[in-house]
Amino acid sequence: MVNVTPSVQDALKGTRVDEDATTATDDIAITVPTAAASSGPQDEPSGDDLVFDVSELSVFYGDFRAVRDVNMKIRRNEITAMIGPSGCGKSTVLRSFNRMNDLIPTARVAGNLLYRGVDLYDERVDPVEVRRRIGMVFQKPNPFPKSIYDNVAYGPRVAGRKKGLDEVVESSLRKAALWDEVKDRLQDSAIGLSGGQQQRLSIARAIAVDPEVLLMDEPCSALDPIATARIEELMAEIKAEYTILIVTHNMQQAARVSDRTAFFSVELDEANDRRTGLLVEYTDTAKLFSNPDDQRTENYITGRFG
Amino acid sequence: MAMATIGNNGAARRVEDEIFKQGRDLRGAGFRMVLLAALAVSTLILIVLLVQVLTDGWPVIDERFGDFWSGTLRSRSSDDALGISQGIAGSFWIAVFVAVLAFPIGISAAVYLEEYAPRNWLTSVIDIAIRNLAGVPSVVYGLLGLFLFVKTRDGNSSLMAGGITLAILVLPIVVITAAEAIRAVPSSLKEGAFGVGATKWDVIRSQILPFAAPGILTGTLLSLSRAVGEAAPLILVGAITGRLAPRDGSFFGADQFFDRFTAMPIVIVGWVQQSGRDEGFAAAAGAAIVVLLAFVILMNSGAVLLRNYFEKKRG
């Protein structure tokens, strides 16, 4: 296991972060676990079942710590939901699982984020390879301005695959429950699809590279209830093959689709007018929604806050 | 008409009195008139210009356009061999120099600035410098060309010196417009591509450049029109205005790169100057302007068509 040290972080992010190096060290030094954040599920996963092992994860934007003290163990072939009020950092945490935060120049991660025992933020890790294994579906459907076929074939193509694309496109679209609707117009532009179809296309595009994990960042927030129901059905169907992490604003959705739920909350630092997110409780979905350990979780799910 | 009434206390008011137009948006209407006037003025100026040069140049275009097209720079306007072939050839090659030098260098610089360069004080300084360079008077570029490409060759002016000078002149414009087109690519597209394991190169090649293509194209072709219409820098690097002997060799032959040269705007400037002592040159200048305008309009229309094509392609 390789610990993420400030020097590794700086090397990954280039010279720009050097200015922040001292601050970073300070921040890490004061990262201490809180009692609330360490409440986890009883049965500890291990071996093949353990996909992500997150401990003491913090995410910074510049010298501002957006999220702190995330401790989670993500299990294989389960759907893990991340809920919480706006600004609690759940999307930020999700995007650190496949190094999407690298695209934001000031973003930085401290703590441990192990994928299959390997620290994702080790300087030897290639983020491109990480994203092939850990795919992502975004909040707003974002089809490429290309044909439906080329959208799905994009990932395999950039991975260097040239043969058998037809089969990949068909099986991905079938898994995404979109095949029957588009099989006769694969060469049409993906922009012409409805929002729900576009989001299923995004899922097809993500699974076309055969990832192990799918990260879904509020995938249904731009969709109507019928399209949302289809995506939820789809998640239940593909769960056997993929490990899914979903960020959602919708507590009912988390309760319906997920096996485990992580509740994030937000702390207001009055002095600096800054909000820092933190993981409050992470446990079985049924338990979290019926008998949460933490009073803050209880307040949130019963609608008394957030 | 129904005499609908509203209000349930006291005197009923007629709905028509309230919802019919009462001229509330007077300021808006006034503003609209101002905008329309501005548009009319710009259009009117353009029309006056076109009519003027067409009238001036019409005798030449009407009576001897073939000879005018293939003729050369002469010292008398009554000379049957007076014409613009050298100007056309010069402008053609200048456009080629700009396209070959300024476009690839400018677009590459823009991609680097937008996608690779770290955001720090140095890139900010470079960004501001490029914007300022785009505003530097073209004569200054002419001076640069004079010292870099003419003085170094013992003061011999050449078509190549003119072409490279104008390529340098439009380079900042190409960088700025290309950078703006690249900046306008939605981040959701880039994220989508990165999210399925695309490398930076994949994203630039398959998402950013195709999406930015219409904008880049418009900017580059407009800068080409600018280069083809520039006279001042060419005068400084020694383009010929008076009389230029016809050369052997083909019309567009690349063997003329190191020869003395002229270009359409220079031809026009020269003839306008000479029209004082020889009135016939005024008609020739008018006709040359018509030809140059036709080329510029052609190029800009091409830019619009290409932009529409790429925009349609990206959906």
Q: What is the CATH topology of the domain spanning B65-313?
A: MetI-like fold (1.10.3720)
DSSP state of A142: -
Option in B197, B210, B211 nearest A131 (CB): B197
**Touching B: A residues 31-90, CB under 8 Å:** none
Whether residue A191 and residue B118 make contact (CB cut-off 8 A), yes or no, is: no
C-alpha to C-alpha distance for A239 and B167, rounded to whole angstroms: 58
Residue B64 to residues A117, B58, B155: CA-CA distances in angstroms? 84, 10, 37
What are the structural domains, with CATH classification, of chain A?
6-301 (3.40.50.300)
ipTM associated with this complex: 0.81
Backbone angles phi, psi at A260, to 5 degrees: -130, 150
Average pLDDT, chain B: 87
Mutate to test the interface with A, among B196, B199, B313 (most CBs of A within 10 A): B196
The mean pLDDT value for B21-44 works out to: 91
The nearest CA of chain A is from the CA of B26 a distance in Å of: 40
Return the pLDDT at B5: 56
Q: Which range has the worst mean pLDDT, A11-20, B103-112, B187-196, B293-302?
A: A11-20
* Helix segments in chain B, DSSP class H: 15-19, 26-70, 85-97, 103-111, 121-135, 138-145, 159-183, 187-195, 200-203, 209-229, 232-236, 264-274, 280-313
Residue A154 near chain B (CB below 8 Å): yes
Name every chain B residue with its beta carbon within 8 A of the beta carbon of A105.
118-119
Q: What is the CA radius of gyration of chain A?
A: 20
Residue B78 near chain A (CB below 8 Å): no
Q: Which range has the worst mean pLDDT, A239-243, B73-77, B305-309?
A: B73-77
Residue B232 to residues A87, A302, B94, B154: CA-CA distances in angstroms? 58, 75, 14, 21
Return the pLDDT at B14: 82
Return the pLDDT at B4: 52
Cβ contacts of B241 within 8 Å, gap of 6 or more: B73, B235, B262, B266, B267, B269, B270, B273
Return the pLDDT at A15: 36
Chain A: residue nearest B188 by CA?
A142
Cβ contacts of B133 within 8 Å, gap of 6 or more: B171, B172
Task: Quick: pLDDT tens for B119-158.
Answer: 889 999 999 999 999 999 999 999 999 998 888 877 777 8
Chain B: residue nearest A131 by CA?
B197
Residue A155 near chain B (CB below 8 Å): yes
Residue B315 near chain A (CB below 8 Å): yes
Chain A: residue nearest B212 by CA?
A145
C-alpha to C-alpha distance for B173 and B100, rounded to whole angstroms: 15
Return the pLDDT at B169: 95
Residue B123 near chain A (CB below 8 Å): no
Whether residue B197 and residue A155 make contact (CB cut-off 8 A), yes or no, is: yes
Q: Which of B240, B225, B246, B239 is nearest to B304 (CA)?
A: B225
Name every chain B residue with its beta carbon within 8 A of the beta carbon of A16.
118-120
The answer to whether B260 touches B244, Cβ cutoff 8 Å, is yes
The nearest CA of chain A is from the CA of B92 a distance in Å of: 36
Option in B189, B199, B313 nearest A144 (CB): B189
Residue A201 near chain B (CB below 8 Å): no
**Touching B: A residues 106-145, CB under 8 Å:** 128-129, 131-132, 135-138, 140, 142-145
Task: Quick: pLDDT tens for B191-248.
Answer: 999 999 999 999 999 999 999 999 998 889 889 999 999 988 998 887 777 677 776 6
- A99's tokens: 């190094």
**Touching A: B residues 275-314, CB under 8 Å:** 313-314
Q: Kindly give the confidence (pLDDT) of every residue in chain A, 306 residues in length, as a single tens digit, with 9 standing for 90 and above.
A: 444 444 433 333 333 333 344 444 444 333 333 434 444 445 677 777 899 999 999 999 988 889 998 999 999 999 999 999 988 889 999 999 999 998 888 899 999 999 999 999 999 999 999 999 999 999 999 999 999 999 999 999 999 998 999 999 999 999 898 999 999 999 999 999 999 999 999 999 999 999 999 999 999 988 888 889 989 999 998 999 999 999 998 899 999 999 999 999 998 887 777 889 999 999 999 999 999 999 999 999 888 765
Name every chain B residue with its beta carbon within 8 A of the beta carbon of A190.
315
Residue B206 near chain A (CB below 8 Å): yes
Domain map of chain B by residue range? 65-313
C-alpha to C-alpha distance for A119 and B211, rounded to whole angstroms: 35
Three-class HEC string of A205-228: HHHCCCCCEEEEECCCCCCCHHHH
C-alpha to C-alpha distance for A213 and A97, rounded to whole angstroms: 10
The nearest CA of chain A is from the CA of B253 a distance in Å of: 42
* B209-229 vs B280-313: helix crossing angle, rounded to 10: 180
Return the pLDDT at B8: 57
Cβ contacts of A179 within 8 Å, gap of 6 or more: A170, A173
Residues composing chain B = 315
State if pTM tops 0.90: no
Whether residue A131 and residue B186 make contact (CB cut-off 8 A), yes or no, is: no
